[in-house]
Amino acid sequence: MIYRRLGRSGLKLSALSFGAWINFGTRIGLAEAREMIALAYDHGVNFFDNAEVYARGEAERIMGQALADLRLPRDAYLVSSKVFWGAVENPRPTQHGLSRKHIVEACEQALRRLQVEYLDLYFCHRHDPETPIEEVVVTMDLLVRQGKVLYWGTSEWPPEKLEEACRFAARNGLFGPQMEQPQYNLIHRERVERDYAPLVAAYGLGLTTWSPLASGLLTGKYNEGVPEGSRLTLPGYGWLERWVFGEAREKRLEGVRRFVAIAQEAGVEPAVLAIAWCLRHPAVSSVILGASRIEQLRANLAVIDRLEAIPEALYLEAERIFADGG
């Protein structure tokens, strides 16, 4: 495994991490989660990502029990949660958003579900236009000083709001955002490469990126249609199919077919090439993997051993295919 600092902090994350989104609590139960976390840990993964909204808290409960069952040393791994949408269906006004009340209570609930005394990383899952930035920063600073959170950051925040938070924290001697968690893959590049680049340089933010395979699209699994049993067929996830394919479905699929072809011609699995490409970005502290089967996870973890064998020309050719966003 390769380890990278979280931005300018002294914290080192495994370059590949393992996340619970969509799978834990929907397609993966406790036994499977335990096996997959053990595999990831044995391969050097030290960061396990989660959120209050994933399966309405069930993803955190499963991950917490799996970690407890495995009896991994607490000082050897990192666990995260995210706050914004809440963990209940049809939340009341104080059960979602980024008010001080919800941030604090969501943190306490995540600690109980994950069975830990502190969160290594705590993300504001989206920007809340109804809560002042000052309130968010002061509340996160409080949690850090209480020892309930070690590092806090944001996920998919508008860059101008993230900069406002960084500036307010610096101006007032508070613990500011240390990381951002954006989507980043060959198809979705602008936010990382254009929008966040100045903030990474100015404030030393680390990026823990998600969806390196664009929800499986870059593996080629959807080239001939959506197979039964894939995440795009899960009840309640119709929005995900629209999001994955975008407005120009056939154009995006044609790009993916070309990407799969050049990978196969070079003797590289498309998933390996897609994940390896994400790891090339110097601001990426960790690429979060998701998997519904242990075979998937094992194959994706093998990317680390393949990095030196992938020629630069192949990366550049892949970039050209999706130069206009696919």
- Which residues are the active-site residues? 54
> 189 has which bridge partners?
none
Sign of CA dihedral 233, 238, 242, 243: negative
Distance CA 282, CA 205 (A): 11
Distance CA 115, CA 194 (A): 38
* Helix residue ranges per DSSP H, 115-172: 133-146, 159-172
| Beta pairing class for 3-5 and 12-14 | antiparallel
- Whether residue 42 contacts residue 84, with contact meaning beta carbons closer than 8 Å, is answered with no
What 3-state DSSP class applies to 80?
strand
Distance CA 42, CA 68 (A): 16
- Whether residue 37 contacts residue 70, with contact meaning beta carbons closer than 8 Å, is answered with yes
User: Which amino acid, 218?
Assistant: L
Distance CA 275, CA 184 (A): 10
The residues, ordered by sequence, that sit 6+ positions from 221 with a Cβ below 8 Å of its Cβ are 227, 230
